[in-house]
Chains A and B, each alone.
Chain A
Amino acid sequence: MLHTATIARSDLDRPRQTFDLAAQGLRALNEMLHQLRGQTNETAWEIVNTKGSHAIAVGVDAPIDIIVRGTTGYYCAGMNKQATIRVDGSAGPGVAENMMSGTVIVEGDASQYAGATGRGGLLVIKGNASSRCGISMKGIDIVVHGNIGHMSAFMAQSGNLVVLGDAGEALGDSLYEARLFVRGQVKSLGADCIEKEMRPEHYEVLETLLQRGEADATADPSQFRRYGSARKLYNFNIDNASSY
């Protein structure tokens, strides 16, 4: 099921309220953002002087538009709901972890566990994503313009992971019903992960995701292969023990 959130490219230059993280502190930032729940006319923000801080803009639950200027530490945009959060730099581990809805865009690279356990919304990484991208994803859509590291989509339950570059070792190990689309090379597939046929509905899903992920100008759905679960390990069987 695709989500309707879109990236408002035209909104990038709109007037924004500025929050100086170095001057005002993390706790003040997140408390302020949490107070914006529901309808608010304070919809455009930029956060400056991030200096790699952890937990920037976590637990936001409002249809607001945030630009994070600079590089972030762990868990930026964690558990996001509704908001569009754009990181104008690279993101540390666990960006958009457990995201519920909304959109998170990382202009640079993302470290480990990007989009971990995400339940909804769209995560776009313009650069590369490190290991365990989309680990245990539960409904989120992730579009990575570059490569992803090893053990990505480990135990992924649902949602879509789109990779324009290559995938590292053990892609989709022990995954459930998530769909993985990779344009480049896959170093190896994990336990119970197999290549699957691209059917018309998959091209349709992919085309929409590439468009929403700002990748439609550089990639075409026909260039991708699909990977998913062989479903052989869904119920324990001693004869499959050597597969683990």
Chain B
Amino acid sequence: MTEFLRTPPRFSATFSNDANAEIRRAAATGIYDIRGGGSKRKLPHFDDLLFLGASISRYPLEGYREKCSTDVWLGTRHAKKPIHLDIPVTIAGMSFGALSGPAKEALGRGATEAGTSTTTGDGGMTEEERGHSKTLVYQYLPSRYGMNPDDLRRADAIEIVVGQGAKPGGGGMLLGQKISDRVAEMRNLPKGIDQRSACRHPDWTGPDDLEIKILELREITDWEKPIYVKVGGARPYYDTALAVKAGADVVVVDGMQGGTAATQDVFIEHVGMPTLACIPQAVKALQDLGMHREVQLIVSGGIRSGADVAKALALGADAVAIGSAALVALGDNDPSLEEEYRKLGTTAGAYDDWHEGRDPAGITTQDPELYGRFDPILGGRRLRNYLKVMTLEAQTIARACGKSHLHNLEPEDLCALTIEAAAMAGVPLAGTNWIPGRTGM
């Protein structure tokens, strides 16, 4: 029996096939892997939480009969004109440049029909977006590409971007192949060169400066616009507290599942914290300052369904933002395009080379032939449908928990499936009263 004399082939858990493939790729190309999207690794997430629902101690509300409201006010702290949205699901900042003009138009159409806001991105405000978005949030980014006072005034809110979940502490890079004439003109740079988006703002450093920067933006816009501060999920307790101290109306916390147009894979997968871990810390900062609900909290990074929305709100968020999910709703990574994804060396569901500008769905591209395939009216309708479904799902859960408004959901409605999720979310492990790090067993 010679087979018992040889050790069977044994693969290393450390040097896995994926790890070895990346070593070979790096050795062959001499460059780190750049891709779009957010963290792809398995992380503690909303899937690890469950709602308890009503029981003898709590009675539910009747579906389709008893009201469960979904609206949200944003920017009530200082702005003369706070924003009122019908649903607490907003569209996160994504740039024209990263996305095609028709894709930005579709986001505006869908969000407006669903009663929510869209957000610009690096590269400035386009007419497609302003024209089709009833409520538009204008990002104020370190690069200041396209920044001007006229667009500040015609925005409905201003979002100062300090960081994003995919790369807290990192800037961005729009590679030359996506720099069309129009993108180049909007960014004051030559066509075809890589465009770096700086990682720090050019004219302020630290929370005391941020306070003065917020003052300047308020003065330029006569104190009309809500001012958001967006941070990547790195130190959410302190970042939230400092943003509040600096005068923000709204704090946006983006966990590491939040997407990016393009960044190093090593950055996406190894810097930042999961969204689930960020929310309770941000909420605690607001509560400690007596500002919970007065300064609104928007959470983003890996929101996919109405259940995710409900869980984020139950943990204390006022609203959520979606980016990657909105792109999927528009048609990104659709299996119907499998043949074309294969030609790009990938497969539907895994395509993330958005920076190369060859998106067969016409969403993350500046190629007229490719984005010409994308129908912004149909895309807008799909996004509207998706947003409506998410809202209905969140309402279904809220009613089951006896809540007449999504904002009435609370941590007491939740339990966790894993010890990690219980510790991060600050809710008991299912079947126990144990919140690791806080309470007994």
Contacts and interface: CB of A to CB of B under 8 A. Distances in A.
Contact of A94 (B152, B193, B203): B203
Interface stretch (B161-169, B212-220, B305-313, B338-346): B212-220
A170 to B, nearest CB: 15
Contact of A177 (B190, B203, B209, B223): B190
A74 B209 contact: yes
Interface string A86-99: 00000001100110
Contacts of A176: 189-190, 193
Interface string A219-244: 00000000000000011101100000
Contacts of A158: 188
Nearest to B190: A177
Nearest to B220: A59
B202 A55 contact: no
B223 A117 contact: no
A132 interface: yes
A123 interface: no
A231 to B, nearest CB: 8
A116 B193 contact: no
Interface in B156-188: 173, 175-176, 187-188
Contact of B193 (A81, A135, A234, A239): A234
A34 B202 contact: no
| Listed residue (B152, B204, B215, B216) with the most chain A CB atoms within 10 angstroms of its CB | B216
A176 B145 CA distance: 14
B222 interface: yes
Contact of B220 (A79, A94, A235): A79
B31 A135 contact: no
A54 interface: yes
A98 B144 contact: yes
B220 A78 contact: yes
Interface string B184-212: 00011110111010100011100001001
A99 to B, nearest CB: 10
Interface stretch (A7-15, A23-31, A39-47, A204-212): A23-31
Contacts of A74: 204, 209, 212-213, 216
A235 B176 contact: yes
Interface string A107-148: 000001100110100000000000010011011000000000
Contact of B202 (A59, A135, A174): A135
10 contacts: A34-B222, A54-B215, A59-B220, A74-B212, A81-B149, A93-B209, A94-B204, A113-B202, A157-B187, A177-B190
Interface of A: 26-27, 30-31, 34, 54-55, 58-59, 61, 73-75, 78-79, 81, 93-94, 97-98, 100, 112-113, 116-117, 119, 132, 135-136, 138-139, 154-155, 157-158, 174, 176-177, 234-236, 238-239
Interface of B: 30-31, 143-144, 147-149, 152, 173, 175-176, 187-190, 192-194, 196, 198, 202-204, 209, 212-213, 215-216, 219-223
